[in-house]
Amino acid sequence: MPPPDMRTPQQVRTLLAARFRRDYPSWAQRRGSWPLHISLQEPGTAQRRADPVACHAWADSWRDYPGPGTVTWANRDFRTGVHPMPKTLVLARAYDVAAADPGTATVWQRCGARLAELTRHFPDARLGPLVRRITELADADHRRLVTTASWLRANPSSGMLLRQLPIEGIDTKWLQRHAPLVLALLGDDPDASTAADPDTGPASGPASGPGPDAGPNPGPGPDAGPNPGPGSDAGPNPGPGSDAGTGDAGAAADDTGAGATARLRLYRRLGLRVPPELIQVAVLDPELRHQIGGMRHLAASTDDLNRWEQTPDTVVILEAKETGYAVTTDHPGAVILHGQGFSVAAYARIGWVRTARRVIYWGDLDLPGLHFVDDLRGHGIDARTILTDRATLDRYRHLAVDGAGTTRSSLPHLTPDEMALYRHLAEHAAATGTGLLLEQERILWPDAYRALVEAMASPSEPAAARP
C-alpha cells in the first residue's frame, strides 16, 4: 500500500473524471491550453528513506499503466542507488481525459456528436453556455428539440396554438423547460446569466480553472477534440460564451404577471398564438347576470369582459379562488374577480375595473399582498382593502404561518394603516429571517363576510383619504 500522498492510477482516474465533468463544456468550445499535467505526487526524500519498498511498489503500479496519457519519470536517490520514479501524467487533449473513465468517454462522444449535428443543421445556433444541457438531454428530448426547432424555423409565423403543432411529445411544460435550447438553435441572442450551464460558470472564472497541481488551464488545442467528438471536425464553433437561450422566456407563468409576460414574449418570438388568460368571475347582481344568460359564475378573458354592455359599479378582487364561491347572496351592481393571485396587469386591462365607483381588495395578510395593493393602485385602480391592518393580524396572529420575507424600499400607494402593518411585517422578517402570513381562509367566514358586505355598501372614497 503506497503512502497516502502518492497518487495511484485509480485515484488519478477518479480525479480526471471529476475534472472532466466540471470542465468538458469549456473544452468542447476549444478553451484553455494543452497538454494537461497531473502531478502524481511522487515520494519525497523522507518517504524514500523511510519506506523504499512502498515507494517501489507504487512506481511499479505506474510502470504498467495502459493510459490514457503519458507518464513522465525522473531519477531519484535511494539508499540503494538511483531509481526512476513516476512524476507526472501528461494528457495531450480533452479526449485523453475523457478516456480515463467509460462514463466520461461516453459523455464526450455524445457531446461531440450532438454539437456536430446541431451546428450542421442550425448554422446560426448560439450553443456556447448550453453545452452541458445539450449533452445531458435524454435522447427523446434531444430528438424533440431538433424536430421542434426545425419546424419552427420552417414555420416562423404559424399563428398556431402550441397544442396544434404537428410535433409529437411537446407541450407547454416541455417548451418552457427547453425554451433556452429552442431559441439558441434559432440563433437568438440570449441572456447568458440565466441560460449558462449552472455548474460550469464563466470560462475565465475560477470554476473552470485548473486545480492546484493540474498544470496549465486545460482547454483544447488544434487537436483537442475527441476522435470522434467536438474536435476540429465538429462543425462551426458552437458560439461565444456570452450567448445562450433566453432564460426568462422559458420560465413558467406565475401569478405576478412576470411569468405570463415572459411566456407571451416566447410565443410571439416563435410565431405561436397565446391562449387567452381567463379570469374567474362571480356576478352578484341579477341584472348583470341577465346579459350573460343568467350565469353567476364564469371564467372569461379580459377582451370578453370588456364587451359587457352593462358594467358593475362595485368590483371585489379576491386573491383566493374558493372564497369567490363562498359569497352566495346577491348584491346590486357587484361582481367578484377571484383566483388570479397577484395578476395586476390582467385586472388593469378590464376597463370597468378602472372606472368602477368602488373597488375592494381582500387577500392574504402578508408582505406580497401589500405589494399587490400598491401595484394595483399604481395601475390606476383605486382599491380599498378590508381586513388588512394590525388589528386583524393581532386578532388572528395565532393562526399565522411563515411566509415570504421580501420587502420593497418604496410603497407610495399604501394608506397610513396599511403602511403601519407593512412596517410591522418587515420588522418581523428582518428579525426572524422569514415573513409572516395570515391566509384569508384562516379568518372566520362570518367575520370576513360581514366586513365584505359592509365595504360593498359603504360610500366610496379615494384610498388616499382613508385612515
The residues with which 82 forms a beta bridge, in sequence order, are: 77
Fill in the amino acid letter for 431: A
The residues with which 223 forms a beta bridge, in sequence order, are: none
In b/e form, how buried is each residue of 387-410, taking b as 16+ CB within 10 angstroms? Answer: bbbbebbeebeeebeebbbebeee
Take residue 204 and report the three cell numbers written for it: 475565465
- Residue closest to 39 by CA, chosen among 210, 206, 223: 210
Q: What is the pLDDT of residue 113?
A: 97
Pairing assessment for the beta strands 383-385 and 401-403 based on DSSP bridges = unpaired
Q: How many residues does the chain have?
A: 467
Within a 13 Å sphere around the CA of 155, how many CA atoms are in the beta-carbon half?
Answer: 17
CA 293 to chain centre: 43
Q: What is the pLDDT of residue 409?
A: 85
- Residue closest to 411 by CA, chosen among 419, 402, 399, 420: 419
Contacts of 6 (CB under 8 A, 6+ apart): 40, 41, 42, 43, 47, 55, 58
Q: In 3-state terms, what secondary structure has residue 205?
A: coil
Q: What is the pLDDT of residue 275?
A: 82
CB-CB neighbours of 250 under 10 Å: 21
- Provide the residue-wise pLDDT of the chain in tens; the chain has 467 residues: 555 689 999 999 999 999 999 999 999 999 878 999 999 999 999 999 999 999 999 999 999 899 899 999 999 999 999 999 999 999 999 999 999 999 999 999 999 999 999 999 999 999 988 999 999 999 999 999 999 999 999 999 999 988 899 998 888 889 989 999 999 999 985 553 334 444 343 333 333 333 333 433 333 333 334 333 443 333 333 333 333 333 333 333 343 445 566 777 788 889 998 888 899 999 999 999 999 999 999 999 999 999 999 999 999 999 989 999 999 999 999 999 998 767 788 899 999 999 999 999 999 999 999 999 999 999 999 999 999 999 999 999 999 999 998 888 899 999 999 999 999 999 999 999 999 999 999 999 999 999 999 999 987 665 544 45
Instruction: Round to whole Å and give the CA distance between 168 and 149.
Output: 13
Phi, psi dihedrals of residue 356, rounded to the nearest 5°: -60, 145
- Residue closest to 85 by CA, chosen among 96, 74, 93: 74
Q: What is the pLDDT of residue 406?
A: 83
Contacts of 448 (CB under 8 A, 6+ apart): 323, 362, 387, 440
Q: Which long-range contacts (CB under 8 A, 24 or more apart) does 115-119 make?
A: 115/28, 115/230, 115/234, 115/235, 115/238, 116/228, 116/230, 116/233, 116/234, 116/235, 117/146, 118/146, 118/185, 118/238, 119/234, 119/235, 119/236, 119/237, 119/238
Instruction: Round to whole Å and give the CA distance between 340 and 279.
Output: 7
C-alpha separations of 240 from 23, 127, 167, 217, 244 in Å:
16, 8, 30, 18, 9
Residue 147, H or E segment = helix 139-154
